[in-house]
């Protein structure tokens, strides 16, 4: 299994999480038509009022890299950047399981 997994934590600028959430859900919607993206889920954590976690699984790492060069992705990053105070990311190599 040569997939790529990502957990990405976006910390929102004070009082901007709701707006950032909407943008990330829009990004998730755009992912429907992106080949190579198996999973893109936008989550609110239980005990943190300022952050959003995105869970991604890509069927190969190059599909993920290619997606970042799309005009729609660049546009989203431009719009979202002022709302984000921090980004942390955990890169994973999925080994198997249910739903992949």
The CA distance from 96 to 86, in Å, is: 30
Q: Is 71 exposed, middle or buried (0-12, 13-18, 19+ CB in 10 A)?
A: exposed
Select the residue interacting with a copy of itself from 16, 19, 43, 50 (CB under 8 A). Answer: 43
Q: Is 3 exposed, middle or buried (0-12, 13-18, 19+ CB in 10 A)?
A: buried
Q: For a copy of itself, what does the binding mask look like between residues 61 and 100, x meaning CB under 8 A?
A: -----------------------------xxxxxxxxxxx
Instruction: Select 5 or 19, whichever has its Cβ closest to a copy of itself.
Output: 5
- Site residues (CB under 8 A) for a copy of itself? 5, 7, 21, 25, 28, 31-32, 37-47, 53-55, 57, 90-100
């Amino acid at each position: 299994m040569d997939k790529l997994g990502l957990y990405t934590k976006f910390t929102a600028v004070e009082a901007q999480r709701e707006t950032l959430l909407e943008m990330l859900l829009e990004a998730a919607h755009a992912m429907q038509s992106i080949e190579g993206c198996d999973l893109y889920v936008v989550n609110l954590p239980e005990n943190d009022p300022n952050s959003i976690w995105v869970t991604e699984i890509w069927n190969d790492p190059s599909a993920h890299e290619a997606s970042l060069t799309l005009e729609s992705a660049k546009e989203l990053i431009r719009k979202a950047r002022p709302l984000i105070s921090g980004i942390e990311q955990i890169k994973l190599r999925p080994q198997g399981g249910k739903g992949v």
